A and B are shown apart, each in its own frame.
Chain A
Amino acid sequence: AQKVTQAQTEISVVEKEDVTLDCVYETRDTTYYLFWYKQPPSGELVFLIRRNSFDEQNEISGRYSWNFQKSTSSFNFTITASQVVDSAVYFCALSEATGYSTLTFGKGTMLLVSP
């Protein structure tokens, strides 16, 4: 069975601080995908990134970066120079790379960025 653990329930930072959201996963699959989604206060789920299990290169997109470490089954998300607009709940998710690719979500981490 697949499992995603986001141990940080809530994080509070002050604007411009860097913040890292942790994600640890469990799967028996050798090939899988990892995701991050953002859920702002308005409620929609916004896709941020998908990472294939064969690709362990870190990725950077603007102020966002992701660190995938297969050895520790982790896929952490860092926001550099956080902004108030980053305040949201962030979900890490896992899916098999075969079959119908259903998503298993973590419980989410609520990030509050104050001015």
Chain B
Amino acid sequence: DAGVIQSPRHEVTEMGQEVTLRCKPISGHNSLFWYRQTMMRGLELLIYFNNNVPIDDSGMPEDRFSAKMPNASFSTLKIQPSEPRDSAVYFCASGNTGTSGRYEQFFGPGTRLTVL
């Protein structure tokens, strides 16, 4: 049973370039979350989707960041243009939120982004 899949695992780019991070959630999960981890700010929630619909993007730092979930098995997080301060590890997580109140949230391996 494959877990959450993220690609690429590592990305090095130059300032000003567009960066696209990809995530394939666990099959059957109805929620998807994007987090960012930095030394200074720890783990922060950027945006989350439920049934492919963006629910809350208040954690997205700037308009340079955008996320999409065109279907239940794929999501992207795009940064355009990238800046050195965007350097971080970006995690995708998926889970189920339902009326039972019970859910699991599992994390992908992360994408380590370095913007030079």
A residues with a Cβ closer than 8 A to B are: 31, 37, 43-45, 47, 50, 91, 95, 97-108
Contacts and interface: CB of A to CB of B under 8 A. Distances in A.
B45 A103 contact: yes
B65 interface: no
Given A100-B31, A102-B45, A103-B45, A43 B106 contact: no
A91 B16 CA distance: 33
A100 B109 contact: no
13 contacts: A37-B107, A44-B109, A45-B107, A47-B107, A95-B105, A98-B101, A100-B48, A100-B50, A100-B56, A101-B31, A102-B33, A108-B42, A108-B43
Interface residues of B, number: 24
Contact of B103 (A37, A43, A101): A101
B95 interface: yes
Contacts of A108: 42-43
Given A50-B104, A102-B33, A103-B33, 16 more contacts: A37-B107, A43-B89, A43-B112, A44-B107, A45-B91, A45-B110, A95-B105, A97-B101, A100-B48, A100-B50, A100-B97, A101-B103, A101-B105, A102-B48, A103-B105, A108-B43
Given A91-B43, A107-B42, A101 B109 contact: no
B82 to A, nearest CB: 20
A31 B101 contact: yes
B55 interface: yes
Nearest to B89: A43
Contacts of B89: 43
A105 B43 contact: yes
A43 B91 CA distance: 10
A37 B37 CA distance: 14
Interface in B70-114: 89, 91, 93, 95, 97, 101, 103-110, 112
